[in-house]
Amino acid sequence: MLSDVSIVPTLRHSAPARHAAFVRVTHWITTICFFALLVSGTEIVISHPRFYWGETGNDLTSPLFKIPIPASRNFVPTGYGYVLPDQNGWSRYLHFEAAWAAVLTGLVYAIWGVWTGHFRSNLFPAPADRTWRALLGVIAKHIRFRRPNEAEAFSYNALQRASYLAVIFVLFPLMIWTGLALSPAFNSAFPIAVNVLGGRQSARTLHFLVTSVLLLFLIVHVAMVILAGFTIRMRAMITGTMITRTTINGTSDVSQRAGEERT
């Protein structure tokens, strides 16, 4: 891995593009929104760290599960002898503002992704990778902690593509859906949104569970970035260019290929 900062300026123009500006901007806006939603969502959960299934649930009914933390309301039976300060006011304001920013960013990203073929060329698995054998090969490679070779660094492998697609087209829409299903006014106009989930408390529990899956994705995502070369990957997602050994040696098959893949 080559990460000598002094060579960067001279390479500005020759280094091949890894991520389009549009991907980088929406990626970081989404990152900021995700953290705002995570922190504010956690604060809201602290006011009632109990989860139920069905339409209703409260301190007098038995929960599906509870999180063993103290609460910010004194009547919640947590088993702790103290109550945390109430942070729901700003948390709720921030939660919905960040949700709007995330949804609008996601909407623009989705339109752009279809328009430019970003999803088709960069995220849907390449034809050769659409087999179980190919997927298993990638998984085996991951298990052995083999770092990607330089050709692979300019594209996403099948496992990456599958997880990014799942986050973008399954988990994010589920977050929006289960979140909207918690709005009494939205539910009055679209009752089916909450009814098919099994009721209000089911929607709340699912909102929490999908968050947990997204958090797991985030941890693995950051871990993989670190394993694959933190400086190089972060620079690629911030400046858009990927500095590798091949790049420095001049044009090669790898940078040619990456140049062609540029969107």
Q: For binding to other proteins (CB under 8 A), which residues are involved?
A: 44-45, 47-48, 50, 55-61, 73-75, 88-90, 92-94, 96-101, 182-189, 191, 194-195, 200-201, 204
Tokens of 106: 């996601």
99 vs 243, beta carbon nearer other proteins: 99
Question: Smallest distance, Å, CB 190 to other proteins?
Answer: 8
Q: How far is the CB of 63 from other proteins (least distance, A)?
A: 10
- Pick between residue 5 and residue 189 the one whose CB is nearest to other proteins: 189
C-alpha distances in Å from residue 178, one per residue of 57, 199, 227: 17, 10, 33
Query: Cβ of residue 91: shortest distance to other proteins, in angstroms?
Result: 9
- CA dist 151 and 260 (Å) reads 13
Cross-strand pairs, 66: 50
Q: Which two tokens stand for residue 42?
A: 């956690």
| Least distance CB 80 / other proteins (angstroms) | 16
Residue 38, phi then psi, degrees to nearest 5: -65, -45
Contact 246/255 with Cβ under 8 angstroms? yes
Query: CB 15: neighbour CB atoms within 10 A?
Result: 22
As a whole number of angstroms, the distance between CA 54 and CA 197 comes to 9
Distance CA 107, CA 120 (A): 17
- The nearer residue to other proteins, 89 or 127, going by C-beta atoms, is 89
Nearer to other proteins, 108 or 218 (CB): 108
Q: Quick one: angle between helices 200-239 and 172-180, nearest 10? A: 140
Residue number, 200 or 233, with CB nearest to other proteins: 200
Type of residue numbered 143: I
Looking at the Cβ atoms of 5 and 185, the one nearer to other proteins is 185
Minimal distance in Å, beta carbon 99 to other proteins?
Answer: 8
Find the shortest distance in angstroms from Cβ 235 to other proteins. 22
Structure tokens at 40: 């504010």
